[in-house]
Amino acid sequence: MNLAHAIACKLVHELVPGGLVGSALGYAPVYPLTSHAEDCMAAQNAQALRNDYYTDTYFKGEYNKAAMRYLEDHGLAPVIQEGDMELIRGGTSDFLALNYYASECAKWCPEGEGKEIRYSGVNHSGKKGDISGFETHPGFYEMCKNPNLDTTDWDWAIDPVGMEYMLRDLYNRYGKPLMITENGLGAYDTLTNDGKIHDDYRIDYLRGHIQAVKRAIDKGVEMIAYCPWSAVDLLSTSNGMKKRYGLIYVDRTDDDPKDCARIRKDSFYWYQKAIASNGADLA
């Protein structure tokens, strides 16, 4: 995938005068659970493997060293052929697009104690606290719940400040323009008897994150765009239709397609006003 991305970047630069090219990446900044040194190192390790491993490739043309050492030590590193890294170094990105929904939290995870490498758990039920587990890398880090943040019903941390933190951090490190290609709240929506969807919780979420983008811009971050997710309710990965993101409601369930009527939610009218005012009116 990284080789294909580098080839695409190289071709755009060669064939499209003034063309800009970049990747869209799912991204979550990582906080330490506590200020203990071990937890801070765990957060740095998680940041390296979950985020820097990709962004260093896109902008520096090289793999993050700490992440690559960990992968090599555990037989998980990609096979790098002769000429691969030269190709990657010759096809770096002009900007980075980000799909941001939540921040993450990490704590130290000592080796031993019967712990093995484990990958991120999921919440299929939509009941808070029902997540099946957290990613674990003994001797490197373990992901965990952030006790300082509320979550969605699917255990995703609600963290507008995390958006600002992410944008500031990435721009400080790479100095490249950024854009938000996905940002939204997956939630249960209720269709009232009079055909309305009152989703103040989604409005609050979007407002907080748009304000975070503005704060990042005010601190010098170069932003290309902010795009909410999503315009219309759609099939959510692993969660079907019950986990809704849209500004427009689609009247159906997983089992009953009904007539798939489209109904504008309160958030639709709020966002319409927000974009008409170029973000000045977020009330």
Q: Give per-residue pLDDT as tens, 35-72.
A: 999 999 999 999 999 999 999 999 999 999 999 999 99
Report the share of the chain in percent with pLDDT over 70.
100
Q: How high is the pLDDT of residue 191?
A: 96
* pLDDT tens-place string over residues 212-222: 999 999 999 99
* Distance from C-alpha of 81 to C-alpha of 177, rounded to nearest angstrom: 31
Question: Smallest Cα–Cα separation from 249: which of 236, 264, 239, 269?
Answer: 264
115, 109 Cβ separation under 8 angstroms: yes
Bridge partner list, 240:
236
* Distance from C-alpha of 41 to C-alpha of 45, rounded to nearest angstrom: 6
**Side-chain-side CA neighbours of residue 261 (13 Å):** 9
pLDDT band at 236 (very low <50, low <70, confident <90, very high): confident
267, 204 Cβ separation under 8 angstroms: no
* Distance from C-alpha of 151 to C-alpha of 160, rounded to nearest angstrom: 12
Backbone angles phi, psi at 264, to 5 degrees: -75, 130
Residue 281 has pLDDT above 90, yes or no: yes
Question: Smallest Cα–Cα separation from 246: which of 254, 238, 237, 236?
Answer: 236
Token pair belonging to 215: 């704060």
Which residues contact residue 222 at a Cβ distance below 8 angstroms, ignoring those fewer than 6 apart? 171, 176, 177, 178
As separate numbers, helices (DSSP H) first and strands (DSSP E) second, the chain gives 8, 10
* Distance from C-alpha of 89 to C-alpha of 59, rounded to nearest angstrom: 8
Q: What is the DSSP letter of 235?
A: P
Token pair belonging to 106: 């990490």
Average pLDDT over every residue of 188-202 = 97
pTM for this structure? Answer: 0.95
* Distance from C-alpha of 12 to C-alpha of 135, rounded to nearest angstrom: 37
pLDDT band at 182 (very low <50, low <70, confident <90, very high): very high
